[in-house]
Structure 1
Amino acid sequence: MTDRRARSRAAIGRRTLLTGAGAAWLLTACDAGIAADAPVTRPTTRASDGRPLLSQWYHEYGEVGTEAAARWYAEQFPDAAVTVDWRTGDYENAVTTALAAGDGPDVFEYANGPTVELIRSGQVVELTDLIADVRTDFNAAILDRMTFEGKLYAIPQVIDTQVLVYRPSMLRAAGLAPPKTTLDLVQAAIALTTQDRAGIFVGSDGGVETLIGPTLWSVGCDYLTSDTAPDGPGVGFTDPAVAAAFGALRELYLSGAMLLDAPAHWAEPSALVQGRCAMQWTGLWTFPTLTAALGDDFGVLPWPRFSDTTGAPSVPIGAYGAVVNAAGADVDLAREYVRWLWVAQTDLQLDWAQSYGFHIPARHSLSADADALAAEQPAEVVELVGLYGHPQTPLWWTAGCGTALRAAASRIITAGADASTELAAAASEVTAELDRVRG
């Protein structure tokens, strides 16, 4: 790996899976609403050395070295010449547009796997058999997110997650234990607030971008009901407990304990490092910076359950998955390339997870081998992901669904709108969007 790593240092950076920049972290694996006719297979093309040619797309990652690493991995595949296209801009829209036009890549990554529309229109290929011998080694929640009607349509590449990070020294000084319920969290944030420090930072919007999923899960609900019904899922956030959970975020917003004017995004750890807050919702990718700045003076928690008797703790997880285009020049060869890279080449998978940024491998055995995850706090995050990890959004959850619920959450948290009324209105919009996708 030495030669490749030397070359990788010159590579430009990327956007992280869960960075929070719009659809980037909240991977909001968006359904673009593009329908397609049955895919038409393109003729096979060949490289100058006579090998068949495959094309592969990645979105533009933010970590230094990722582009060079991806190209180096592709060069190692013996059965084809693989060209790597590093795509900037609106990646998901570029993919769906190219697939609909019949000139999409043979292999591409997609946030949390392909959309339900891409699957139902036959634009992507089933990959279930590729992991048959090692299925239990993969994170089950992520595999479920990439599965439709019992068939797997993507191989997860790496997992990112968000957690609640806190300063133990500040909690000890205030005589507080780490909060175990949302109600405890509100009280702790208020108690930790001083003239120069907020109790908690979850984003300058009061948690609209970051905490919708954890808020639903905290009361045992979800975005949608189970998708095992013949006609797909229904709305999952109409329980009155959801309104109460959003009401707690409104209470926190009004309390003065939320940091709302931080100089950096919640995906950056500067607020916690600089002592502007005692607790911060942020991502695993910030841990190297936190360790360098704070040493052992940071701990990690899941978002807590709502009360001692309601819901469960949670951490949202997301993963880009490798997908095969059903209209590619050689679908069988493309499937073999995905199997080779994301199932067989465990050394490359481990390298991708820990050499560029700070991520969790998609496979349990590789997490155990990841030196970067061996320290106390990262190891605890790996455990939290195994215990409480939720795919950030369900397969049927489209961009339109997300827009409706975020707007409702914003009005509840920041404007004080009635939670039950807003959630009911959002449920109507989500229902209409689900009906659109069902066709």
Structure 2
Amino acid sequence: MRQSRSSTNRVTRRRLLSVSGALALTAACGSNTGRDGGRDGGAGGGPALDHWYHQYGEAGTEQAVRRYASAYRKARVNVQWRPGNYDQQTAAALLTRSAPDVFEGWPTLDQIRGGQVADLTGLLTGVRDDFHPAVLAPKTYQGKVYGIPQVIDTQALYYRKSLLDKAGVRPPRTLDELIDAAKALTTKHVKGLFLGNDGGAGVLGATPLRAAGLEPVTSDGEVGFDDPRAARTLGKLHRFHADGSLLLGAPTDWSDPSAFVQGLTAMQWTGLWALPGIQRALGDDFGVLPFPEDGPQGRPSVPVGAYGAAVSARSGHVEAAKAYVKWLWVERTDYQRDFALSYGFHIPARLSLAKKTAVLAEGPAADAVRFATDYGYAGPLLWTDRSLTAFQDALSRIIIDGADPAAQLRPVIATTRAELKRVRS
């Protein structure tokens, strides 16, 4: 990497699902911190705080976060909307005095261990259990929290009910059933399954490992897929390509539901954000499923992701910045609900909010929320970019070329083991 862990070209919240691990730290960016008394936001008194966001693609998001900042009364908050390679900009700024007080992001292990981000554990006193543990875990190191989740994105397997009924196929509950269903649903004009134009290596990542009951990195910091089950499960993914049931070369990639709603595929792996558009196009002629389990030790697998609000340890107003983050992403549940659902379709990071949100309480949306709650996982903090890239490259060769899974995984295991040793040193 730094290839994106998402195949989409638009910069939106959906890219969170593929963000984790270490960033390549580059030379410092410019010295314009925006700490000029809050010319773009913040009508309140107190210190001036600079708050960075990446440039979202969803209309209205920028106006919303500026409105939130203007409502804060204990500091003058200047929102900076950052186009371009946001992750790289932020990583560079955190090494300098140009660092923002508050930034949206995914604090990396290198940033945490390097003392670049502040400990935010105390902001969650009394409410920590109300945040989805899967999205909180990658922001937690040695029991301390370094980022407050803002919103949850998740992925699911969408299927066309009428096409499955016509083919006499039931919604697949295991990987073997998914392989058989994709083949049965493939016709002259419709492919059975769309996992992205690269065959699925980019978007699936560690999802198949989880389906086999494995992890990329275990809870005690060891390689989690040095196990015959990994090769067995990953090897099955080539069947989709060998059977000719994978849609490849679609006009848009996995993050866009166009291939599904236009009838080019009977099943597609895509995000929750796509659900409203699919519903408008297809009515109730679709359902959603988690990635299916594989083997007796397997389990359904649902990737989730969430950018978080973090505080730079170089800020001259660390405590004021923490207070602002707590106000916005812990206390102001009305803003949290607005941010999740008014400018796209996402799950509030607090579980209690998701349960009380009407549009998430019925139909496929409710199913997706339940799957994310029951089976959701996020890439571990110790699963670095180098490890992920090696894994994705191997997965691509397995899916498309039919390369031997065990042979492909051996160097990935070695790379991951070396990375775990590096980050512990």
In percent, how many aligned pairs have the same letter? 47
- Deviation at residue 25 of structure 1 after TM alignment: 4.2
User: Does residue 101 of structure 1 match 2:96?
Assistant: yes
Residue matched to 1:370: 357
Instruction: Tell me the distance in 2 between the aligned counterparts of 1:99 and 1:188.
Output: 49
Q: SS where residue 281 of structure 1 aligns?
A: strand
Residue matched to 1:346: 333
Residue matched to 2:308: 321
Alignment counterpart, residue 156 of structure 1, candidates 136, 149, 163 = 149
CA shift in 2, pair 1:168/1:85, >3 Å: same
Residue matched to 2:22: 31
Dislocated runs of 4+, deviation >6 Å: none
**1:394-405 mapped onto 2 (5 Å cutoff):** 394-405=380-391
CA shift in 2, pair 1:284/1:47, >3 Å: closer
Indicate conservation of the 8 Å contact 2:131/2:350, yes or no: yes
- Deviation at residue 398 of structure 1 after TM alignment: 1.6
Residue matched to 1:39: none
Residue matched to 2:12: 16
Indicate conservation of the 8 Å contact 1:64/1:356, yes or no: yes
- Deviation at residue 220 of structure 1 after TM alignment: 0.6
Residue matched to 2:196: 203
Q: SS where residue 49 of structure 2 aligns?
A: strand
- Deviation at residue 372 of structure 1 after TM alignment: 2.7
Aligned length, in residue pairs: 407
Indicate conservation of the 8 Å contact 2:261/2:281, yes or no: yes
Indicate conservation of the 8 Å contact 2:197/2:250, yes or no: yes
Indicate conservation of the 8 Å contact 1:171/1:177, yes or no: yes
- Deviation at residue 373 of structure 1 after TM alignment: 1.6
Root-mean-square deviation (Å)? 1.9
Instruction: Tell me the distance in 1 between the aligned counterparts of 2:257 and 2:394.
Output: 28
Residue matched to 1:51: 46
Residue matched to 2:5: none
Q: Which amino acid aligns with 1:28?
A: V
Residue matched to 2:159: 166
CA shift in 2, pair 1:247/1:329, >3 Å: same
Instruction: Tell me the distance in 1 between the aligned counterparts of 2:211 and 2:134.
Output: 17
Which shifted more, 185-194 or 362-371? 362-371
- Deviation at residue 93 of structure 1 after TM alignment: 1.0
Residue matched to 1:70: 65
Instruction: Tell me the distance in 2 between the aligned counterparts of 1:348 and 1:331.
Output: 23
Residue matched to 1:355: 342
- Calculate the TM-score normalised by the size of structure 2: 0.92
User: Does residue 121 of structure 1 match 2:90?
Assistant: no
- Deviation at residue 396 of structure 1 after TM alignment: 1.1
Q: Which amino acid aligns with 1:188?
A: A
Residue matched to 1:263: 251
Alignment counterpart, residue 84 of structure 2, candidates 72, 78, 89 = 89
Instruction: Tell me the distance in 2 between the aligned counterparts of 1:217 and 1:27.
Output: 15
Residue matched to 1:5: none
Indicate conservation of the 8 Å contact 2:17/2:303, yes or no: no
Q: Deviations over 1:190-249 (max 9, x none)?
A: 0111111111111111110122222101111111122x4xxxx22212211111111111
Instruction: Tell me the distance in 2 between the aligned counterparts of 1:235 and 1:386.
Output: 25
- Deviation at residue 322 of structure 1 after TM alignment: 0.5
- Calculate the TM-score normalised by the size of structure 1: 0.89
Instruction: Tell me the distance in 2 between the aligned counterparts of 1:437 and 1:413.
Output: 30
Alignment counterpart, residue 406 of structure 2, candidates 420, 431, 435 = 420
Indicate conservation of the 8 Å contact 1:14/1:60, yes or no: no
Residue matched to 2:270: 282
Indicate conservation of the 8 Å contact 1:163/1:301, yes or no: yes
Instruction: Tell me the distance in 2 between the aligned counterparts of 1:34 and 1:191.
Output: 48
Q: Which amino acid aligns with 1:31?
A: A
Q: SS where residue 104 of structure 1 aligns?
A: coil
